[in-house]
Copies of this chain bind each other. A is one copy, B any other.
Amino acid sequence: MADWLAEAQKRLEQYLTQQGLRRTQERRHILEAIYQELAHFDAETLYRHLQEKGYKISRATVYNSLELFVACGLVKRYSFAGGRMLYERSLGRRQHDHLICEECGEIQEFCDPSLGAVTEAVGRLFSMEPVRHELVIYARCARPDCPNKNKLLPLP
Hey, which bits of chain A sit against chain B, CB under 8 A? Answer: 79-85, 99, 101-102, 108, 110, 112, 114-115, 118-119, 121-123, 125-142, 150, 153
Q: Which of B80, B122, B127, B140 contacts A129 (CB 8 A)?
A: B140
Query: Which of B82, B84, B128, B138 contacts A139 (CB under 8 A)?
Result: B128
CA distance A79 to B140 in the complex (A): 19
Complex Cα distance, B138 from A119, in Å, reads 9
Given the complex, which residues of B lie within 8 Å of A102, measured CB to CB?
Answer: 131
A134 to B118, CA, bound (A): 14
Kindly list 13 other residue pairs between chains A and B, CB separation below 8 angstroms, not including A127-B142, A131-B140. A79-B83, A99-B126, A99-B128, A101-B128, A110-B126, A112-B121, A123-B139, A128-B141, A132-B138, A133-B135, A133-B136, A133-B137, A134-B138
